[in-house]
Structure 1
Amino acid sequence: MKLAYSILIFCLIVLETFPLNAQESVFRYELDLTKKNDAFNVILNAPELGPEDKVYSFVSFAPGVHQPLDFGRFIRLFKVFDKNGEELMVQKISLNDFRILEPEKVARIVYEIDDSFDMSIEHHPVYPMSGTGITKDYTVINTHGVFGYFEKLKDRPIELKLKLNGDPKVGTSLHLNNRGVYEIDSYYQFTDSPILIGDSLSYASVLVDEIKVEAYVHSKNNITASMILEQAQPILNAAKEFIGYSPVDRYTFLFYFADHQDVDQMKVFNFGGALEHSLSSTYALPDNPEYLHFLKDIIAHEFMHILSPLHLHSDVLANFDYSDPVSNDMHVWLYEGVTEWVSYKMQLTNGLVSFRDYLNYLSEKINKSQDYSSDYSLVRISKEWSTDEGNKQYGNIYQLGALTAAMLDLKLLDLSDGKKGLREVYLELISGYGKDKPFDNNEFFDEFVQMTYPQIAQFIESHIKNNTAFDFQELLGVIGVTYIEQRENIDKLPVMGLMWDADKAGNVVIKEFLPEYKGDLLQVGDKIVRVLNKDFNNANYRAIMDSINTMKVGDSYTIDIIRDENKLQITETLYTKIDRHVLVTSDKTSDRALKLRAILQKN
């Protein structure tokens, strides 16, 4: 009896002290947005640090963002204090790193960091979907751009308290506890969880199977969260049917649309796009309701990242190095290329697009992949995207990567006589791994072959590890589709015949001429300022292209350019479009091909 009493006392002591010990490992951040200094004001109450925890770092690179970020360049104040409030010695040892001379004494770190929306776009601009912004209407916190880390302590739990003016809406996938504090498992989850804050944000939610899908939207031109979810609903339903179950219980869309005034004030909005996270995604796009119907493909891609890399990723990605751009991860083709294909294939299998649409999609991927160097395989792109030359090839991961997934799907359907395509293998892999069990980076290809057929080993060698041209006639022939390398457009559609790109300063520059172009007035390197008397930018691009498409071959149009600092207005001509890599259904189709084609169009 006495022994039992002693054990009881011991247990009570353990139970009383355990929460305290657990809390001692927590990094407690407070973000103060009430100050009028146009900066993120951060206080970190740190747990006990060891002598090896000398360097506090800001993010150089982040998962899914294939560009240099270097958020340490935005630090304007950085101080460290002990428990008595005495300031400790700190040295800035690199662009993103601060060395603390006595880390064992650290109790509090205080710093101010500028937002990236105000930055110049002359050198490594941070694209707005990946960046941070403090505006009069809303605040964007891509958490990888505000909060730093200690290299060996990234697995420690984190708490975040937001100090805000008033009671604005806060959009995030993070969990808010009953103390008004966000609870976060690790720094990896922290940087995977953006936040959008604003008084005037619109909000809407919908239940898709067992997933609560939320949308928070900033727009001056009356794009609302309900409108976003209206566009997203068919996509979300298609995703549910494609996956067959609900892999997450909550997902958050964060949209901030930029109008003309925003673009003038914040030059980074000359760029735009979306960034995926495991349970949310951010969208920085032109504030034009006319573009809403173009959102479905973007939403589809970002949402389907709930499968990969969330539930299927390598051990390299699981231990992401925020300071090192060099990646040994060979599987960006899987995270981005297969996700890009899945985002359209699920629309086909759910009847949102037709088989003809799917063939046009593949044709477009073939055409766009031709703009990149054939020297870069999907694996090489994955490993070299951070180099100057490799980064120029990164966009091909969405073209060649998706195309490779589509061809792999056909190969698997052919070998299995329609019993198993890429969808089935993909979902089987996800079921076997999941978010907490990464696969071996070096052994994944071998495992994929073991799950499928020996012939897939040669496919991987030729088309993923190397960039061997596809035999489209053979691969597509199994579903009765004929490949035509090029032909004149049957509808005589008009084209300008130009290829352009944005330079480092955000100018749109003529990169090259397509074979259709027969003129001699324009030159490579000309900066395009206006077309059809409209500014040639993200906000007007779609309207300009729509106007071009209503014209006829031989019609004239005006294009304003800058050449050698001289402003010129040139009258040009529209030319007949040449269709390349055309896919058409064959007149002579076998019963087996028709069967496989039918299977391709359903789950």
Structure 2
Amino acid sequence: MKKLLILCGALAMSTLMTAQDLPEMTYDIDISQNLDTFFVTLSPASALDKSTNIYQFAATAPGTYQTMNLGRFVSSFRAFDKKGRELSVTRKSVNQFEIDKPHKLTKITYQMAETFDTQVEDFPVYLMCGSSIEEDHALINAHTIMGYFEGYQKSPLRISVKGKDNWKVGTALSRKDGYFLASNFDHAVDSPILMGELSFADTTIADTPVEIYTYSQQGKFDSKSLLTGMSDMLDATLQFLVKLPVDRYTFLYFFEPDPIGATGAWEHSYSSEYVLEEKEPTPEYMRSVTDIASHEFFHIVTPLNIHSEIVESFNFVSPTPSVHLWMYEGVTEWASNMLLYRGGVVQEEDYLQNAIAYKILVDEKYFDESWSLKKLSDESFNGGEASRQYANIYFRGSLVAGLLDIRLLELSGGQSGLRELMLKLIDQYGKGKPVSEKTFFDDLTAMTYPEIRDFFDQYILEANPLPHEEYLAKIGLKLTRGETGFSVTKMEEMDASQKMLFEAWSKNL
């Protein structure tokens, strides 16, 4: 109830002030004093409203699908007026500090422990969504270091980071007079910063500049070799989408041997961030790095452009699941594999076994098939068994997207599949024009065929067994379940319908 009241208060404040009316917030972050601690000073450009007495740290962040409670890492929180006198501060909850007489406040200071080296009992923060300071680098995700005053989430921000003068800096944020500029708190969270002894490479895809910054603790990886390995993927993505829905993009890579915690990647509107184990850069491992990048890069479509109002106006106070996780992660995983196949980067046999057969095996053997894609979304923030089942969104979610592609191709006579539907959605929706959390399934049905509503009901909202054999047979493929593994192969003989649909399904772009 307490969180609900605070949320309502924040919404009420937003109706009184537009973003243009809100004062600029200046964050000064010092990472030079201690290798495990961020020293933060926040100074509003003008006086706050008298009712703005809550300073909020994030409980979660977009695209993480986990509870974080970053307030756990805060210490020495203090508030001051213009004469340097301390204002009374009360800790209201794990993520909230209440400040007495906020209209007299001129600055707050606090310390924030880095998440990499700080042990917590529950809800560990994924490494790629966390923060790190060492002698030769700093990884900054804004939600792990910064908070915001209730009602001022949309205030414009200036952010300075005091590190080492010779460090390279990788970020999608612009910079002016020594400050990174963000239009609001959401924009800052959407724009990680990697600083330190980094390598750099860049290229242009169509008219889109692409930059790569890499920190490699042991020097086994560099940006130029990563760019070389990713070039075909980037070209295939362009072919798949026809045009890229961004005007620039930045890859941030962080390689560390024997990382403690969950490694992986995190997508953002104009960048993606990777914390990966620093193994030997064998062709196999380099390919896995490219596969991960393909998934994250495709997030420029969903949820970063196509998303519901839950993503458009993100609630950092109380984690709120979206029923459309099937699209955000499942469709993205399917597309990131399919674009490599249709773009000629991945061979047919490889795609059939790794993107289809292996995913079917994992879904059926290692996860609870009674969990629908909707349930995976509903439970995503809850930890425990939900955390273990969540990873199936990348397997079952991708498989359902693949079945949807086949069904759309069948109903359209091979003319239009899931790719073409995504291109329509890009044109119809985007930032500032979210899809409806409640009606999107009906909207998609109206854009396609009445039969698609039944597909959504059976395989996304409910957990009915996936009809792999039936759907694969439509495009002339056969699934074989064996004791040691599953395989998908082309049928020796196809009828005219199967040949037509297989050609439409596998066509090069």
Instruction: Tell me the TM-score normalized by structure 1.
Output: 0.77
Q: Is 1:119–1:125's contact at 8 Å kept on the other side of the alignment?
A: no
Q: Is 1:24–1:48's contact at 8 Å kept on the other side of the alignment?
A: no
Which residue number in structure 2 is paired with residue 112 of structure 1? 111
Q: SS in structure 1 opposite 2:482?
A: strand
Matched residue type, 2:61:
A
Q: Is 2:26–2:43's contact at 8 Å kept on the other side of the alignment?
A: yes
Alignment pair present for 1:335 and 2:328: yes
Which residue number in structure 2 is paired with residue 148 of structure 1? 147
Matched residue type, 2:139:
V
Which residue number in structure 2 is paired with residue 205 of structure 1? 202
Matched residue type, 2:458:
S
Which residue number in structure 1 is paired with residue 232 of structure 2? 234
Which residue number in structure 1 is paired with residue 30 of structure 2? 32
Q: Say which of 380, 386, 400 aligns to 2:375.
A: 380
Q: CA deviation at 1:471?
A: 2.0
Which residue number in structure 2 is paired with residue 596 of structure 1? 501
Matched residue type, 1:313:
H
Q: For 2:339 and 2:290, how far apart are their aligned partners in 1?
A: 12
Which residue number in structure 2 is paired with residue 579 of structure 1? 485
Which residue number in structure 2 is paired with residue 189 of structure 1? 187
Q: SS in structure 1 opposite 2:374?
A: helix
Aligned Cα root-mean-square deviation (Å): 1.7
Q: CA deviation at 1:181?
A: 2.0
Matched residue type, 1:298:
I
Q: How does 1:481-500 map to 2 (within 5 A)?
A: 481-484=477-480, 486-487=481-482
Q: For 2:320 and 2:246, how far apart are their aligned partners in 1?
A: 31
Alignment pair present for 1:322 and 2:319: no
Matched residue type, 1:421:
G
Structure 2 residue runs of 5 or longer lacking an equivalent are 1-18
Matched residue type, 1:244:
V
Which residue number in structure 1 is paired with residue 273 of structure 2? 282
Specify whether residues 24 and 406 from structure 1 end up closer, same or farther in structure 2 by C-alpha distance, changes over 3 A only. Answer: closer
Q: For 2:420 and 2:335, how far apart are their aligned partners in 1?
A: 12
Matched residue type, 2:208:
I
Matched residue type, 1:428:
K
Q: CA deviation at 1:392?
A: 2.3
Q: For 1:210 and 1:587, how far apart are their aligned partners in 2?
A: 44
Which residue number in structure 1 is paired with residue 386 of structure 2? 390
Which residue number in structure 1 is paired with residue 101 of structure 2? 102
Give a deviation string over 1:231-289, Cα, whole Å, max 9, x none. 111111111111101211111111111125xx4xxx33xx3111111211111111122
Q: How does 1:477-556 map to 2 (within 5 A)?
A: 477-484=473-480, 486-487=481-482
* More displaced stretch, 447-456 vs 314-323: 314-323
Matched residue type, 1:319:
S
Instruction: Tell me the TM-score normalized by structure 2.
Output: 0.91
Q: CA deviation at 1:201?
A: 0.8
Q: Is 1:300–1:343's contact at 8 Å kept on the other side of the alignment?
A: yes
Q: SS in structure 2 opposite 1:68?
A: coil
Q: SS in structure 1 opposite 2:93?
A: coil
Q: Is 1:326–1:384's contact at 8 Å kept on the other side of the alignment?
A: no
Matched residue type, 1:171:
G
Which residue number in structure 2 is paired with residue 569 of structure 1? none
Q: Is 2:22–2:154's contact at 8 Å kept on the other side of the alignment?
A: no
Q: CA deviation at 1:52?
A: 2.9
Which residue number in structure 2 is paired with residue 223 of structure 1? 221
Which residue number in structure 2 is paired with residue 521 of structure 1? none
Which residue number in structure 2 is paired with residue 89 of structure 1? 88
Runs of 4+, deviation exceeding 6 Å? none
Q: SS in structure 1 opposite 2:76?
A: strand
Q: For 1:367 and 1:460, how far apart are their aligned partners in 2?
A: 22
Alignment pair present for 1:471 and 2:462: no
Q: CA deviation at 1:36?
A: 3.6
Q: SS in structure 2 opposite 1:93?
A: strand
Q: For 2:32 and 2:411, how far apart are their aligned partners in 1?
A: 62
Alignment pair present for 1:243 and 2:241: yes
Matched residue type, 2:273:
T
Q: CA deviation at 1:23?
A: 8.5
Alignment pair present for 1:440 and 2:345: no
Specify whether residues 320 and 22 from structure 1 end up closer, same or farther in structure 2 by C-alpha distance, changes over 3 A only. Answer: closer
Which residue number in structure 2 is paired with residue 52 of structure 1? 51
Q: For 2:35 and 2:500, how far apart are their aligned partners in 1?
A: 65
Q: CA deviation at 1:37?
A: 6.0
Q: For 1:430 and 1:113, how far apart are their aligned partners in 2?
A: 39
Q: Is 1:38–1:134's contact at 8 Å kept on the other side of the alignment?
A: yes
* More displaced stretch, 164-173 vs 301-310: 164-173
Give a deviation string over 1:159-212, Cα, whole Å, max 9, x none. 1122233231011011113x23222111111111110100x2111111111111
Q: Is 2:310–2:320's contact at 8 Å kept on the other side of the alignment?
A: no
Q: CA deviation at 1:325?
A: 2.5
Give a deviation string over 1:380-418, Cα, whole Å, max 9, x none. 111111223322221111111100000000000000001
Which residue number in structure 2 is paired with residue 405 of structure 1? 401
Matched residue type, 2:482:
R
Larger RCO, structures 1/2 (Cα 8 Å, 6+ apart): 2
Q: SS in structure 1 opposite 2:395?
A: helix
Q: Say which of 427, 452, 455 aligns to 1:456.
A: 452
